[in-house]
Copies of this chain bind each other. A is one copy, B any other.
């Protein structure tokens, strides 16, 4: 998978800043719903900052493993341990984002009326939970 550059839903919403007005004008309820969806289902800013902080540490850790791998005598199990530690750190990132998502978006789905969509999406995301 290639690194995400501008493919996120929010990025797409940002590329169409007037989507909401247009949608209302055209009377398209579904389009209006999707545009509002993008606007309202955003990651909590504190969790966003915490995730970025953790990911910068993950990047440093990956660089540490890259330096290990320059050593021709590096032992397999030492590499396995470090990769496992990086995975643990990434798991903390996804746990934080997941918690914010459930609290802010899933717990309010019934009131908003998009339960089925959010449940499908959540189960899909959990499928890959490492």
Contact = CB atoms under 8 A, between A and B. Distances in A.
Given A4-B65, A58-B62, A71 B102 contact: no
Given A1-B61, A56-B66, A103 B77 contact: no
> Chain A at the B interface: mostly helix, strand, loop or mixed?
helix
Contact of A102 (B48, B68, B106): B106
Nearest to A41: B75
Taking the full assembly, how many copies of this chain does it contain? 4
A130 interface: yes
A116 B109 CA distance: 15
24 contacts: A4-B67, A5-B64, A5-B67, A8-B75, A10-B74, A11-B68, A42-B72, A48-B72, A55-B62, A56-B66, A59-B66, A76-B97, A76-B105, A77-B122, A80-B125, A81-B125, A83-B94, A87-B130, A98-B123, A98-B126, A103-B115, A103-B119, A106-B107, A107-B109
Given A14-B71, A130-B130, 17 more contacts: A3-B65, A4-B67, A8-B74, A9-B77, A10-B78, A43-B79, A48-B74, A51-B79, A55-B69, A76-B97, A76-B101, A76-B104, A77-B125, A81-B125, A83-B93, A108-B110, A111-B111
